[in-house]
Amino acid sequence: MAKSEKVAAVAEIADQFRGASAAVITEYRGLSVGNLTSLRRALGTGATYSVAKNTLVKRAAAAAGVDGLDDLFVGPTAIAFISGEPVDAAKALKTFAKENKALIIKGGYMDGRPLTVEEVDRIADLDSREVLLAKLAGAMKANLSQAAALFAAPAVQVARLAAALEEKRAAEAGSAATETDATETAAAESDTAESGAAPADAAEATEES
């Protein structure tokens, strides 16, 4: 391969790493051309399956800022670059590997970090996006009906609570008003007493003089 071709290949693989939502590194030793075609068909339009030389893949990964995969780039390497749903592609790879022992899943890369074989396997065992959405919709529907029942049943209790709060506020307001009236009355009596004492004192002073 000419140097310009290598540069172009590295750039292309680096772009695939950058644009992928996930990548799964495999060894395809022993797979025929027909097997590879079947695998690509199984992956569908949400992933591409690319065979590349390890030296070029290492350079491309470094150029794309993908770290921690160099140990996986040994032997005949092919990478599934996933642009769609990682779960669906991981399922397709796991199923194909069960039926074709020559395909070995070695690890992967997602969310900025390497994935172990066990992690790829766990992703493959997850429900598909459609199933998860259906389950979520079912759960939300159940919760909404439960919430509707809860809100309908205690409506009378809410009304009673509101009435009780209003009565409490009214009682507190009445008590405050009574205390205010009592304070004002006491102050008025005190003023009257003081004003009444002054003339008496004056009269006594006049008599004494």
The set of residues, in sequence order, having a beta carbon less than 8 Å from that of 10 and lying 6+ positions away, is 56, 59, 60, 63
Taking only the tens place, the pLDDT of each residue in 86-105 is 999 999 999 999 999 999 99
Cβ atoms of 69 and 96 closer than 8 Å: no
Cβ atoms of 15 and 65 closer than 8 Å: no
CA–CA dist 126, 130 (Å, integer): 11
- pLDDT band of 62, cuts 50, 70, 90: very high
37 dihedral zone (left: phi>0; alpha: psi -120 to 50; beta) = alpha
Mean pLDDT of the chain: 79
Taking only the tens place, the pLDDT of each residue in 150-208 is 444 433 333 444 455 567 767 877 776 666 665 666 555 555 555 554 444 444 444 44
By the 10 Å C-beta count (0-12 exposed, 13-18 middle, 19+ buried), 155 is classed as exposed
Partnered with residue 49 across adjacent β-strands are 80
Of 92 and 145, the one with more pLDDT: 92
Cβ atoms of 132 and 102 closer than 8 Å: no
Cβ atoms of 14 and 63 closer than 8 Å: yes
> In whole angstroms, how far apart are CA 46 and each of 25, 61, 118, 134?
16, 21, 22, 21
